[in-house]
Amino acid sequence: MEYTDISKQVIDFQKMSFSNWYNALSMVQDQTTSAMDIVLDQSTWVPEEGRKAVQGWLNACQEERDRFKSYVDDSFSSMEKYLAKSKKAAPVKTAK
């Protein structure tokens, strides 16, 4: 097995691990957002400005989570392209 094949398998494993972690994180954050909405709906003493501030904070967290995922996905894509180029450029070894 060549080094590029091993590297590709490692990258695929890391990509799958990140995807699973990201999905779990997304579920937790979405559940927290839902819980926060329920709490704010039941808290009549919280002013509208406070509700908007909390909602803005929750939206910012979700946007940054999505931006982080796009950065990591771009990095995985770049690494896969690099490995594909290096595999094409590697000389083929023949058995003697």
Q: Is residue 28 part of a domain?
A: yes
51 part of a folded domain: yes
pLDDT of residue 85: 85
68: domain range? 15-82
Does residue 27 sit within a domain? yes
Q: CB neighbours of 32 closer than 8 A, spacing ≥ 6?
A: none
Q: Consecutive 10-residue runs of the chain (96 residues): their mean pLDDT?
A: 84 96 96 93 90 93 96 95 80 60
The answer to whether the CB of 26 falls within 8 A of the CB of 66 is no
Count of domains for the chain: 1
Question: Rounded to 5 degrees, what angle do the CA atoms 55, 59, 64 make?
Answer: 150
